[in-house]
Amino acid sequence: MGNFIDIAYLVSAIFFIYGLKMLSHPRTARNGNIIASLGMLIAIIVTVYIGTDLDFTKIIIAMIVGSIIGAFFAVRVQMTQMPQLVAIFNGFGGGASALVASSEFLKFSESQVGSAQSPTFLIISIVLSILVGTLTF
């Protein structure tokens, strides 16, 4: 099973890289977007599959809502407004990153109450994720 997961993540990464490469030319940008989206879908499916305590209903609802919002903006936004749309989506991604890192920090601090151990690398990576996420947002 481990090999299947590794191969799926590798295929997902290849789709991302190839999709980004195709975004460099206007003629191939639409296909690049589709290929990169397929890579994201593969990564999400594999991540959900290997997670044992995940609520699939919430994940599917979030994916559907996100797809509807993305499709709405893809149709409604004019090409001259695209940089602003990308900037706001980037900001939302930074905000999401900060929220996830904050959640991990709270989970870590609750589990370490009364413990003398503090994995420095974990704390530094969480704090940097919160910092970068809030600066991006």
Amino acid of residue 45: I
Decide if 12 is inside a domain.
Answer: no
As a whole number of angstroms, the distance between CA 45 and CA 5 comes to 10
Judge whether 99 lies within some domain.
yes
Q: Where are the beta strands (DSSP E) in the chain?
A: none
- The model's pTM is 0.57
Q: Is residue 91 part of a domain?
A: yes
> In this structure, what token pair is assigned to residue 121?
């690398």
Q: Which tokens is 74 given?
A: 């893809």
Residue at 120 is within a domain: yes
Q: Alpha helices of 23-119 — where are they, by DSSP H?
A: 29-50, 56-76, 82-111
pLDDT score, position 26: 86
The number of beta carbons lying within 10 Å of the beta carbon of residue 15 is: 21
Q: Per-residue pLDDT for the chain (137 aa), expressed as one digit of tens each? A: 678 888 999 999 999 999 999 988 888 888 998 999 999 989 988 888 887 677 778 888 988 998 898 888 888 888 788 788 888 888 888 888 888 888 888 887 766 655 556 677 777 888 888 888 888 77
Task: Copy the structure tokens of residue 100.
Answer: 């996830």
| Domain range for 115 | 79-137
